[in-house]
Chain A
Amino acid sequence: MRHGKYPFIIGFLVVPVALYVVFVVGAYLQTFWLSLTDWSGLGPVPTRLSFDNFVNLWHDDLFWKSLRHNLVLLVLLPIVTIVIALIFAFLLNVGGGSKGGLTRGVWGSKFYRVVFFFPQLLALAIVAVIFGRVFAPDRSGMINGMLPESVPPSLFLADKRWALLCILAVLIWQAVGFYVVLFSAGMGSISQEVYEAAALDGATRITLFFRITVPLLWSTIQVAWVYLGIAAFDAFALVNIMSVDRGGPDGATSVLSMMIYRKTFGESQVGYASALGVVLFFLTLTFAALTLRVTRRDAVEL
Chain B
Amino acid sequence: MTNITETQAPPSVPGTPGAGRKPDVRRDVNAFSGLAHFGLAIWALATAGPLIWVLLASFKSNTEIFLGRPFALPHSFSFETYVSAWTEAHVGRYFINSVFVVILSTAGTMLFGSMAAYVLARYRFPGNRFIYYLFVSGLAFPTFMALGPLFYILKGFGLINTFTGLILVYIAYSLPFTVFFLAAFFRTLPNEIDEAATVDGASHTRKFFQIMMPMARSGLVSITIFNIVGQWNQYLLPVVIMQGSGADTKWVLTQGIANISVSAGYHAEWSTLFAALTLSIIPMIVVYAIFQRQIQAGLTAGAVK
Interface size on A, residues (CB 8 A): 120
- Segment of A56-64, A73-81, A156-164, A196-204 in the binding face: A196-204
Pairwise interchain contact B145-A280, C-beta atoms closer than 8 A? yes
Please determine whether B295 and A16 come into contact, CB atoms closer than 8 angstroms: no
Once bound together, how far apart are the Cα atoms of A164 and B261, in whole Å?
Answer: 20
Does A68 sit at the interface, judged by CB under 8 A? Answer: no
Q: How far is the CA of A100 from the CA of B12 in the complex (A)?
A: 10
Known contacts A23-B168, A200-B13, A146 near B70 by CB under 8 Å: yes
Report yes or no: A194 in contact with B144, Cβ–Cβ below 8 A. no
> Is the C-beta of B299 less than 8 angstroms from some C-beta in chain A?
yes
B273 touches A118 (CB 8 A): no
For B280, what are the chain A residues with a Cβ–Cβ distance below 8 Å? 126
A-B contacts at CB below 8 angstroms, number? 310
Residue pair A126, B257 in contact (C-beta under 8 Å) = yes
CB <8 Å contact, B273 and A123: no
Q: How far is the CA of A124 from the CA of B229 in the complex (A)?
A: 11
B119 & A13 in contact (Cβ 8 Å cutoff)? yes
9 pairs, CB–CB < 8 Å, chain A vs chain B: A8-B203, A9-B119, A17-B131, A98-B18, A126-B281, A146-B71, A224-B303, A280-B144, A281-B141
Determine the main DSSP class of B at the interface with A.
helix
User: Smallest Cβ distance from A138 to chain B, in angstroms?
Assistant: 7
Are B4's CB and A302's CB within 8 A?
A: yes
Contacts of A119 in B (CB 8 A): 47
Beyond A17-B134, A20-B172, A28-B149, 8 extra complex contacts between A and B, CB < 8 Å: A13-B115, A20-B135, A34-B148, A84-B43, A95-B33, A95-B36, A125-B255, A300-B2
Taking CB atoms, residues of chain A closer than 8 Å to B33 are 95-97, 106
Is B112 among interface residues, defined by CB-CB distance under 8 A? yes
Interface of A is mostly: helix
Q: A100-B16, A224-B303, A284-B140 are in contact. Are A145 and B68 (CB under 8 A)?
A: yes
A91–B118 Cα distance when bound, in Å, is: 41
Q: Name the residue of chain B whose CB is nearest to the CB of A276.
A: B145
On chain A, the residues within 8 Å of B68 by CB distance are: 139, 144-146, 149
B171 CB-CB contact with A under 8 Å:
yes
A-contact 0/1 string along B271-294, CB 8 Å cutoff:
001100100110011011000100
Does the CB pair A20–B36 fall under 8 Å? no
Which residues of B approach A to under 8 Å, CB–CB? Answer: 1-2, 4-5, 7-8, 10, 12-13, 16-18, 29, 32-33, 36-37, 39-40, 43-44, 46-51, 53-54, 57, 65-71, 112-113, 115-116, 118-120, 123, 125, 131, 134-135, 138, 140-142, 144-154, 168-169, 171-173, 175-176, 179, 198, 203-205, 208, 229, 232-236, 239-240, 243, 253-255, 257-258, 260-261, 270, 273-274, 277, 280-281, 284-285, 287-288, 292, 295-296, 299-300, 303-304
Q: Is the CB of B44 within 8 A of A116?
A: yes
Q: Which residues of A does B touch, CB under 8 Å?
A: 1, 4-6, 8-9, 11-13, 15-17, 19-28, 30-31, 34, 41, 84, 87-88, 91-92, 95-101, 106-108, 111-112, 114-126, 128-134, 138-142, 144-146, 149, 173, 176-178, 181-182, 185-186, 193-194, 196-201, 205, 212, 220, 223-224, 227, 230, 233-234, 236-237, 240-241, 257, 260-261, 264-265, 270, 273-274, 276-278, 280-281, 284-285, 288, 300-302
> With A and B bound together, what is the CA distance between A100 and B274 in angstroms?
49
Q: Are B12 and A97 in contact (CB under 8 A)?
A: no
Whether A28 pairs with B146 at a CB distance below 8 angstroms is: yes
Nearest CB on A from B108, distance (A): 9
A-chain residues with CB within 8 Å of residue B36 when the two chains form the complex: 91, 95, 106
Task: Judge whether A130 and B7 touch: CB under 8 Å.
Answer: no
**B141: which A residues are within 8 A, CB to CB?**
24, 28, 281, 284
B44 — which chain A residues lie within 8 A by C-beta?
111-112, 115-116
- Are A19 and B175 in contact, CB atoms less than 8 angstroms apart? yes
Residue of B nearest to A143 (CB): B70
Q: Could you tell me the distance between the alpha carbons of A107 and B208 in the complex, rounded to whole angstroms? A: 47
B172 x A145 contact (CB < 8 A): no
* Closest Cβ–Cβ distance, residue A242 to chain B (whole Å): 9
**CB contact between B142 and one of A116, A124, A280 (< 8 Å): that residue:** A280
User: Which of B65, B119, B173, B284 makes the CB contact (< 8 A) with A140?
Assistant: B65
